[in-house]
Structure 1
Amino acid sequence: MLATDILRHRGFKNLWLGQLISQIGDSLYFVVFMFMVKKITGNDAMVGLVGACETLPYVLFGPSAGVLADKFDRKRIMWLSDIASGTFLLSLGALVFLAPTTPVWLLASTAFVMSTLRAVFLPAKSAAIPALVPAAELLKANSFSTATQNMVPIIGLGLS
């Protein structure tokens, strides 16, 4: 039996494809965003500050995001997180394009908001998997999802 056999479950396949597309976008965003911070500020310390703002939400909101995933509709949480991320990035892109300068606080807050949305998305995705596959295949589904989650950033870095 192949690892990809788990994709025969339609719900899991849809979740996995969504995860794949979303994570490729996240990977591209991360690299491009950090280069943008460096280009706009010319300051390595600012790149580090924005990187810290990107990490902080996982520490602050990780535990409570799991509670949200248990309490509310997981599909809706994932959908809203991805829509909000896309909308936020498009808005930032328009602002950067139209404004003569981009303040560092805007870049840092963008990193914080994007990671907060991701911190909410991830537990909802993980908690949704058991409802999409039979119990006997849960280990395979979780492994496949985790492998994708770990491999896509590497591929995304290559694409950027």
Structure 2
Amino acid sequence: MKINALTPAEENLMLLIWKLGSPFMKDIMEALPEPKPHHNTVSTYLKILVEKEYLSTEKIGRIFKYSTTVPFEEYRKFILAPFLENFFNNSASELLKMLISENLLKPSDLNDYFEIKTAVVPILQPKEETKGSDISSFITELTSDKPKKVKDKKKKRKKK
């Protein structure tokens, strides 16, 4: 299926129709935001979308019911390729960097999506193992009220 480009107005109308499902003209007019365009304007855009093969029509009595022929996911893929090419040099990682830097995406969202598992590796050994080590005695010496070495030096000076 060949997908044709849409103008911004056509795209906005299609986004509304994708949300509505298979609406009648009345449903579309009710769902449009204020200020609502004229009925004839919307009718013209719907005719163009049928010609571009985004919509099909089913006549029920005197009115038409509109159904999408291009799924939203297909259109989204169609839009994404030139978007990446034009704004991010075909680099999805550049897009991700921008989304994260703009706080539109949290790194934790990526972890959830990709099921990234991280392991925490302790830098120091557990306390039981470090009691006799040089590092733990150094830390104890720094954090104690009266350093042991200073006491020993004072005793040696008194002896002399």
Answer 1 or 2: which has greater strand percent: 2
What is the TM-score with the length of structure 1 in the denominator?
0.25
- Which structure's CA Rg is the greater one? 2
Which one has more relative contact order, counting CA pairs under 8 Å at least 6 apart?
Answer: 1
Answer 1 or 2: which has greater helix percent: 1
What is the TM-score with the length of structure 2 in the denominator?
0.25
